[in-house]
Structure 1
């Protein structure tokens, strides 16, 4: 298996493994071919440093002479960016964007402490973690680099390399972010043979392709399962789409993380036992997180670090749009019906104001509407339409040959999941099957607003 490892990034700095071009001042990532992947190359792991002072010109960071790179400042937080297995040898298309985003977002932090490294017992991946650990060791022992200020971002195979590196330092590294950690060759392995929460002070993992190239089970202090953790919206469903069919779900993890760096697009993640319960609206309470609310996905989750460490391993879910911006606008939908007989079906909701509208179909299964019993659902829209001036409801069943049913709604309540926004209600509605009913929402009678 051929792989290349990238980066030692430092809050204002990032280092990536690139090939060396002796006649040039700037290092460039090596563009290999499928032939190179099959027969192998003599290329070694390279660590290339990017800082706010040299954003576009990478500088080779020497393993043996860590003092040779004058732009390396150990007082700054450091981020290692490690990509995964590249079957064709081509450079990751997201690498440059990720470097720029980290340098733009990273804040200066002050940390204390440090720990002597130990030799790793994990030898599944030859070389990658050794080079990275050696870089950290040199700069920790000789330059005063603080291990707790290190953030390792590993993609696929790179996630486990990050874990192996963290194990060399007995978990003293500050944070490991695993973006769809690799599944093949790691499923069923012990903690010594894969990433686990003990590899860093804080480990967060995102799963987007757990039924193919990704890892299914929890690996961190918090694990995110985007859209259930497997099929991602907008990705091809058949092999006739070519190579995108194989890599789209897996690669989506990187683009979701990149989008999370935009603070106006943050996605809330909801702790839940499984994806079905999440879609049914059973996991929308964030009481366990007190005033901080449910954690966000991605770059800024460290704001919830202390409470997550107390809770232990936490599994969370969220859904996304097909493309950027990936964040959806979420609502808690509550319907109380007063039919004397039980009704089954799904609901379509459209929100409108004078400028725009958005629609969602809550149809992942047929829902039960029972007299005087509240049915709670999760409604998520592609965009935020606020303030909502009109709402359109449609009640849909799978019946074809039976008479059309009617759903009599005693109370309709739609509560924005975004904190501080007013819930919307309507009372005494009659929904005929497959017919739109449009109304203006009114304040809820029992609202605390």
Structure 2
């Protein structure tokens, strides 16, 4: 009890004697605020390596910490249905500052984004962009460069970033759109949403295309984790790094080259998936249709599992089929491989799949030696384990 009293006295004394240490905080609201609606008010919170955890609120470039000769990254949140502060912002700020000595400006427009009526928040987006333009104009007068400006926008914040870019005729260095909002923006012309002309480089991550997100490509390069729909085990917004594979390239109506990248994520941090190509040559007389599951094991017995092809593939005699397998961990030395083949049928007799050659190739580390096995006979739904050999 005595120790508790001492701690309380210390905390009270610290609050009373150190008021200057109070840090400007992101506006935290409640569901009650959302019920009555909020009027737009924008706070600009600056973080640098000199003040990584205690923001400086900006009203102009006249700042203790802002260095306009350095890169400046803006973080812009989106629609806030309940008014709570985005829990991911502090982590993202620290990640950015750990990667580079820069200015990080959190754009707090929670008053304006918090409402039960989504369209009200959407109508505020261009007004937020105009406020940001005013600050950037003042920074340019003091010597900043548009080339060094990077806007990271989530949901409605992605389109706010696009509107800022439009106000500068696409001269901003980079815009990153994270799960851009779909409602009220799908089918709109480029002037009413994020598009590739809004910055010198626009990259977009689509992570909720079957819900409130935007499905079509909006940038120079568009990423679709797990196909762009549900994200297993991930928080609401993803910031981890991933290994992606190009799916298709095409031209938009504006003739801007666009690349779409599709990749998978694991359920747990760091959410990385390690990919392998699995080349299969079979010698069954009749075509076999089915799926593969594969397990890799290292010399300690640790295992990594993957379902190789979620859709059935047709295995024809002497034809090579290349499958893509993803694992949530990677082994430099693979001691054993287990394969299982299934047709998915519960009433048909079990089939055999005769494999003339199986080859495993790492996409994560293409220089790694390829592993092979020859002359295997797999009984359907029966795991077959073997030691691979160098190809």
Tell me which interval the TM-score lies in, with the shorter structure as reference length: 0.7 to 0.9
CA gap of 1:386–1:147, structure 2 versus 1, over 3 A, is: same
Q: Secondary structure at the match of 1:84?
A: coil
* Unaligned runs of at least 5 residues, structure 2: 1-18, 104-121, 250-254
The structure having more radius of gyration, on CA atoms, is 2
Distance in 1 (CA, whole Å) between partners of 2:325 and 2:256 is: 28
Match of 1:402 in 2: 348
Match of 2:218 in 1: 219
Please say if 1:335 is aligned against 2:280. Answer: yes
Distance in 1 (CA, whole Å) between partners of 2:273 and 2:160 is: 32
RMSD of aligned C-alpha atoms? Answer: 2.1
Alpha carbons 1:319, 1:328 under 8 Å: kept? yes
Q: Secondary structure at the match of 2:359?
A: strand
Match of 2:204 in 1: 205
Match of 1:283 in 2: none
Match of 2:27 in 1: 30
Please say if 1:422 is aligned against 2:353. Answer: no
Alpha carbons 1:339, 1:408 under 8 Å: kept? yes
Distance in 2 (CA, whole Å) between partners of 1:437 and 1:70 is: 66
Match of 1:79 in 2: 73
Alpha carbons 2:360, 2:372 under 8 Å: kept? yes
Per the normalisation by structure 1, the TM-score is: 0.74
Match of 1:318 in 2: 263
CA gap of 1:42–1:273, structure 2 versus 1, over 3 A, is: closer
Q: Secondary structure at the match of 1:145?
A: coil
Distance in 2 (CA, whole Å) between partners of 1:399 and 1:369 is: 16
Match of 2:117 in 1: none
Please say if 1:89 is aligned against 2:89. Answer: no
Of 244, 247, 251, the match for 1:269: 244
Q: Secondary structure at the match of 2:217?
A: coil
Report how far residue 123 of structure 1 moved: 7.0
**Higher alpha-carbon deviation: 43-52 or 99-108:** 99-108
Report how far residue 354 of structure 1 moved: 2.1
Distance in 1 (CA, whole Å) between partners of 2:273 and 2:266 is: 6
Of 271, 292, 296, the match for 1:351: 296
Report how far residue 42 of structure 1 moved: 4.8
Q: Secondary structure at the match of 1:104?
A: helix
Match of 2:384 in 1: 437
Distance in 2 (CA, whole Å) between partners of 1:360 and 1:373 is: 23
Distance in 2 (CA, whole Å) between partners of 1:159 and 1:95 is: 15
Distance in 1 (CA, whole Å) between partners of 2:185 and 2:316 is: 46
* Unaligned runs of at least 5 residues, structure 1: 1-21, 110-121, 236-247, 261-266, 275-309, 445-449
Structure 1 residue ranges, 4+ long, deviating more than 3 angstroms after superposition: 22-25
Distance in 1 (CA, whole Å) between partners of 2:101 and 2:315 is: 50
Q: Secondary structure at the match of 1:272?
A: strand
CA gap of 1:313–1:103, structure 2 versus 1, over 3 A, is: same
Can you list the C-alpha shifts for 1:365-420, whole angstroms capped at 9, x where unaligned? 11110000001110111111221011111111122222210000000011011221
Aligned residue pairs, count? 348
Alpha carbons 2:40, 2:124 under 8 Å: kept? no
Match of 1:55 in 2: 52
Alpha carbons 2:359, 2:370 under 8 Å: kept? yes
Match of 1:44 in 2: 41
CA gap of 1:412–1:311, structure 2 versus 1, over 3 A, is: farther
**Higher alpha-carbon deviation: 214-223 or 40-49:** 40-49
Alpha carbons 1:83, 1:92 under 8 Å: kept? yes
Match of 1:115 in 2: none
CA gap of 1:60–1:234, structure 2 versus 1, over 3 A, is: closer
Q: Secondary structure at the match of 1:48?
A: strand
Distance in 1 (CA, whole Å) between partners of 2:337 and 2:329 is: 15
Please say if 1:392 is aligned against 2:387. Answer: no
Report how far residue 362 of structure 1 moved: 2.3
Alpha carbons 1:124, 1:193 under 8 Å: kept? no
Alpha carbons 2:299, 2:333 under 8 Å: kept? no
Report how far residue 234 of structure 1 moved: 3.3
Distance in 2 (CA, whole Å) between partners of 1:124 and 1:337 is: 60
Distance in 1 (CA, whole Å) between partners of 2:278 and 2:244 is: 18
Distance in 2 (CA, whole Å) between partners of 1:373 and 1:124 is: 58
Alpha carbons 2:76, 2:153 under 8 Å: kept? yes
Alpha carbons 1:394, 1:436 under 8 Å: kept? yes
Per the normalisation by structure 2, the TM-score is: 0.85
How is 1:349-388 mapped onto 2 (pairs within 5 angstroms)? 349-355=294-300, 356-388=302-334
